[in-house]
Chain A
Amino acid sequence: MSTLSFELERRFPSGATVRAGLTHRWADGGVVVLFGPSGSGKTTVLRCLAGLERPDAGRIALGDDVWSDGARFVPPQGRRVGFLAQDYALFPHLTVAANLEYGLASLPAPARARRALEVARLVRVEGLLGRRPAQLSGGEQQRVALARALAPRPRLLLLDEPLSALDAPTRDALRAELRSSLVSAGVPAIVVTHDRVEAMVLGDTLAVLAEGRIRQVGKVSEVFSAPADAVVAHVVGTENVAPARLVGHDGELAVVEVGSARLVTVDPGHLEGEAWLCIRAEEVLLERAADADLSARNQLAGTIVSLAPEGPLVRVVLDCGFRLVALVTKQSAGRLSLAPGGKVVAVVKAPAARLVPRVAVATAR
Chain B
Amino acid sequence: MDLEALRLSFVLATLTTLVLLVVGLPLAQWLAASRWRFKAAVEAIVSLPLVLPPTVLGFYLLVAMGPKSPLGQAWVAVFGKPLAFSFEGLLFASVLYGLPFAVQPFTAALGAVDRGLVEASYCLGASPLRTFLRVTLPLALPGVVSGAVLAFAHALGEFGVVLMVGGNIPGQTRTLSVSLFDAVEQLDYARALSTSLVLLSVSFVVLIVTSLLKRAPGGR
Binding site for B on A (CB under 8 A): 50-52, 75-77, 80-83, 85, 87, 89-93, 102-103, 105-106, 148-149, 152
Cβ–Cβ contact A52 & B124, under 8 A: no
Number of contacting residues on B, CB 8 A?
18
With the chains together, A51 CA to B138 CA distance in Å? 25
Cβ–Cβ contact B135 & A76, under 8 A: no
Cβ–Cβ contact A105 & B125, under 8 A: yes
What A residues does B130 contact at CB under 8 A? 105
Say which residue of A85, A102, A103 sits within 8 Å of B119 (CB atoms). A85
Cβ–Cβ contact A77 & B116, under 8 A: no
Cβ–Cβ contact A52 & B123, under 8 A: yes
**In this assembly, does B218 line the interface, its C-beta being within 8 Å of a C-beta of chain A?**
yes
**In this assembly, does B69 line the interface, its C-beta being within 8 Å of a C-beta of chain A?**
no
**In this assembly, does B71 line the interface, its C-beta being within 8 Å of a C-beta of chain A?**
no
What A residues does B122 contact at CB under 8 A? 51-52, 75-77
What A residues does B120 contact at CB under 8 A? 83, 85, 89-91
With the chains together, A152 CA to B116 CA distance in Å? 19
| A311 CB, min distance to chain B CBs, angstroms | 43
The 6 closest A-B pairs by CB, nearest first: A103-B124, A89-B120, A83-B123, A89-B116, A76-B122, A76-B123
**In this assembly, does B194 line the interface, its C-beta being within 8 Å of a C-beta of chain A?**
no
Cβ–Cβ contact B138 & A93, under 8 A: yes
**In this assembly, does B114 line the interface, its C-beta being within 8 Å of a C-beta of chain A?**
yes
**In this assembly, does B126 line the interface, its C-beta being within 8 Å of a C-beta of chain A?**
yes
What A residues does B121 contact at CB under 8 A? 91, 102
What A residues does B127 contact at CB under 8 A? 77
**In this assembly, does B117 line the interface, its C-beta being within 8 Å of a C-beta of chain A?**
yes
Binding site for A on B (CB under 8 A): 114, 116-117, 119-127, 130, 134-135, 138-139, 218
> Can you show 9 pairs from A to B with CB atoms below 8 A apart?
A51-B123, A52-B122, A75-B122, A77-B122, A77-B125, A81-B123, A83-B120, A89-B117, A149-B124
What B residues does A89 contact at CB under 8 A? 114, 116-117, 119-120
Most buried by B among A77, A103, A149: A77
What B residues does A81 contact at CB under 8 A? 123
Cβ–Cβ contact A50 & B126, under 8 A: no
From known contacts A89-B114, A89-B117, infer whether A82 and B123 are also in contact, taking CB-CB under 8 Å.
yes
Q: Is the interface of A mostly helix, strand, loop or mixed?
A: loop
Cβ–Cβ contact B135 & A91, under 8 A: yes
With the chains together, A89 CA to B113 CA distance in Å? 11
Most buried by A among B119, B122, B123, B138: B123
What B residues does A103 contact at CB under 8 A? 124-126
With the chains together, A103 CA to B123 CA distance in Å? 8
Cβ–Cβ contact B123 & A50, under 8 A: yes
**Chain B residue with minimal CB distance to A83?**
B123
With the chains together, A85 CA to B125 CA distance in Å? 15
| A232 CB, min distance to chain B CBs, angstroms | 31
Cβ–Cβ contact B119 & A152, under 8 A: no
Cβ–Cβ contact A105 & B135, under 8 A: no
With the chains together, A315 CA to B135 CA distance in Å? 55
Most buried by A among B119, B126, B127, B138: B119
**Chain A residue with minimal CB distance to B218?**
A93
**Chain A residue with minimal CB distance to B114?**
A89
| B132 CB, min distance to chain A CBs, angstroms | 13
With the chains together, A106 CA to B127 CA distance in Å? 12
What A residues does B125 contact at CB under 8 A? 77, 80, 103, 105-106, 152
With the chains together, A152 CA to B122 CA distance in Å? 13
**Chain B residue with minimal CB distance to A52?**
B119
What A residues does B135 contact at CB under 8 A? 91
What B residues does A148 contact at CB under 8 A? 124
Cβ–Cβ contact B119 & A83, under 8 A: yes
With the chains together, A87 CA to B138 CA distance in Å? 20
**Chain B residue with minimal CB distance to A81?**
B123
Q: A83-B120, A93-B218 are in contact. List 20 more A-B contacts (CB 8 A).
A: A52-B122, A76-B122, A77-B122, A77-B125, A81-B123, A83-B123, A85-B116, A89-B116, A90-B120, A91-B121, A91-B135, A93-B138, A102-B124, A102-B134, A103-B124, A103-B125, A103-B126, A105-B125, A106-B125, A149-B124
Cβ–Cβ contact A105 & B139, under 8 A: no
With the chains together, A92 CA to B134 CA distance in Å? 12
Cβ–Cβ contact A76 & B218, under 8 A: no
With the chains together, A106 CA to B124 CA distance in Å? 11
| A49 CB, min distance to chain B CBs, angstroms | 11
What B residues does A85 contact at CB under 8 A? 116, 119-120
| B114 CB, min distance to chain A CBs, angstroms | 7
| B119 CB, min distance to chain A CBs, angstroms | 5
| B3 CB, min distance to chain A CBs, angstroms | 42
Cβ–Cβ contact A77 & B126, under 8 A: yes
With the chains together, A51 CA to B130 CA distance in Å? 18
With the chains together, A129 CA to B213 CA distance in Å? 28
What A residues does B123 contact at CB under 8 A? 50-52, 76, 81-83, 149
**Chain A residue with minimal CB distance to B120?**
A89
With the chains together, A102 CA to B127 CA distance in Å? 12
| B115 CB, min distance to chain A CBs, angstroms | 9
| A133 CB, min distance to chain B CBs, angstroms | 11
**Chain B residue with minimal CB distance to A93?**
B138
Cβ–Cβ contact B126 & A102, under 8 A: yes
With the chains together, A83 CA to B120 CA distance in Å? 7
